Structure 1
Amino acid sequence: MAKSSRASTLKANNQRLKRNVFGPVEAARNERLSAKLLALAAEPKPQKDIEMNEEPVEEAKDAAAQKDDSTMEVDGAKPASKKPSGKKKVEKRRGKKSSIVFPTRGPKRNKK
């Protein structure tokens, strides 16, 4: 018969493995991760230069005008409808039902 997982020798071996093999590996991983996080925290945050009162640059206006000129408008064209692009319903295939029909049994009769 096999030894159960509650056997004292198996529990002792597993504890020894955790302490001697997996323990140092996990500790080294924690050291690497903490060093990486400290390095990220020490870096200065990038600052965004946004001024609300500044007018848009003329080049941006010209680019927008060129983009509008290149598109064609069609009279009577329907605008594209925006439907939610969620998950589509998956239809499950149903197995074919058997064409064999077994007769139902009447009341059970005692055979002697």
Structure 2
Amino acid sequence: MRYATTPAKRWGTRIGHFLILAAFVAFTAFPFYWMLITTFKSTLDLVNTKNNPFLFNAPPTLENLQVLFFQNAIPAMGLEYLAGRGDRGGYYAVAGGARGL
């Protein structure tokens, strides 16, 4: 296999590699950006179809984090799991003990 030998071919190869890497990084980083921006959006801002989903149309809020940590059972379930009591909980009750447990 012959590699690019002229400076123009080398620069073209480098630019091509850079563009492929940049596209891959953008593709893999976008879900994290989306999670971060929707964490601080209000519910009305999320469901209004006239708003731009990539920008804050209303001021950022911590309402979703308050609901997550203080208005449901997720923290308690996490503590039960860490204590060793919640590792088989709801799945086997719903699945009917798939492995005979």
TM-score (norm 1): 0.28
Query: Which of the pair has more CA radius of gyration?
Result: 1
Higher helix share: 2
Higher relative contact order (CA 8 A, sep 6+): 2
- Normalised TM-score (structure 2): 0.30
